[in-house]
Amino acid sequence: MASEIHNPRTDIRDAFFDRLYDLAAQDRDTLFLTADMGALSLDRFKRDLPRQFINVGICEQSLVSIAAGLSLSGKKVFIYAITSFITQRCYEQIRIDLCGMRLPVVIVGSGPGICYGSDGGTHHAVEDIALMRALPNLSILNPSDPLSASAAALMAHKSANPVYVRLDKGKLPALHREEEDFSEGLRVLKKGRDVMLISTGVMVHKVFELADELAKHNIDAGIIDLYRIKPINTELLLSYLNEYKKLVTIEEHILAGGIGSAICEIVADHGIAKPVKRIAIPDIPCSQYGDREWMHRYYGLDVQTMVGLILQDCL
């Protein structure tokens, strides 16, 4: 029986793992390997499909290489750990063993951006998009709601290439509709006339608040959810850009190499003369602790600061 994802406030992580459970229950060759990272919704997987669930211990490097070996043996492998660890501790293994050999392993990073808030800088993943964008053959998915998370599990399972999924957690309202096709990689969630706000992951929810605030300043903002960061659907993106005077990218990631950089590359490569404002985490190490909302204020990703930046720099 298909898992329940209709509830508009399903935990985004549960939506991903519930879909994965359904896929794995139908396919004995789908394996889930974790570096000692759990989730409530994984308990069912572990209980019902014990042969397909392996906790390798706290060792991200060998996790990736073991997954490569299993993939060479014909298995569809999902690997899972905290985002900062599974992207950085084992970067070379991802680069050589997965991307170099083009093996369809799915890397699931739990808690991208500053999801882990007051756990501090060791647990923040704010460079991962830059790192992963640099790797050949690797797709990057960053779901923003339960529906896109469920779709990400399906797309990753089907992929013939390695995939990296930035998987947030928490109960989030649906932004997309279930019947929608997620193969396009991005979607306009709100149309506007003045400025196009492009964001990814859970920050898309904050961007709706931002658009509401901008409206009070007579700025009609559109919103794009870039749920596939690599490869970006350039053709589709360009088809929307002509309708807007300015572009603003918003992300829980450092300025260098994130979606702001990716959009600037596309704009530059296509000779488009259009201002782009990048709102992201400044190039400073995290030296303060606080919850996610507090960290947003600390880094200038709160709505009030973003409105100020857009009014000052963009219009």
Question: Interface residues with other proteins (CB under 8 A)?
Answer: 51, 56-57, 59, 61-62, 64-75, 92-93, 96-97, 100-101
CB of 80 to other proteins, least distance (A): 16
Residues 6+ apart with CB under 8 A from 83: 109, 110, 111, 112, 115, 125, 128, 166, 167
Residue 11 or 97: the one with the smaller Cβ distance to other proteins is 97
- Classify the C-alpha dihedral 42-76-259-136 as positive or negative: positive
CB of 67 to other proteins, least distance (A): 6
Structure letter (DSSP) for residue 113: B
Residue 163 or 241: the one with the smaller Cβ distance to other proteins is 163
DSSP E strands, 42-186: 53-55, 76-82, 106-110, 139-141, 163-167
Residue 70 or 303: the one with the smaller Cβ distance to other proteins is 70
Q: How far is CA 297 from the centre of its chain?
A: 21
176/159 Cα distance (integer angstroms) = 22
CB of 93 to other proteins, least distance (A): 6
CB of 166 to other proteins, least distance (A): 24
Residue 96 or 154: the one with the smaller Cβ distance to other proteins is 96
**Nearest one of 244, 309, 245 to 282, comparing CA atoms:** 309
Q: Tokens 């994984």 belong to which residue?
A: 42
Residues 6+ apart with CB under 8 A from 189: 175, 176, 204, 208, 223, 224, 225
CB 228 within 8 A of CB 262: no
CB of 100 to other proteins, least distance (A): 5
CB of 2 to other proteins, least distance (A): 26
Residue 9 or 102: the one with the smaller Cβ distance to other proteins is 102
Judging by beta carbons within 10 Å of its beta carbon (0-12, 13-18, 19+), is residue 73 exposed, middle or buried?
exposed
At residue 49, the 3 state secondary structure works out as coil
**Nearest one of 159, 183, 93 to 131, comparing CA atoms:** 93
CB of 94 to other proteins, least distance (A): 11
Residue 66 or 259: the one with the smaller Cβ distance to other proteins is 66
Residue 10 or 71: the one with the smaller Cβ distance to other proteins is 71
Residue 30 or 142: the one with the smaller Cβ distance to other proteins is 30
CB of 77 to other proteins, least distance (A): 8
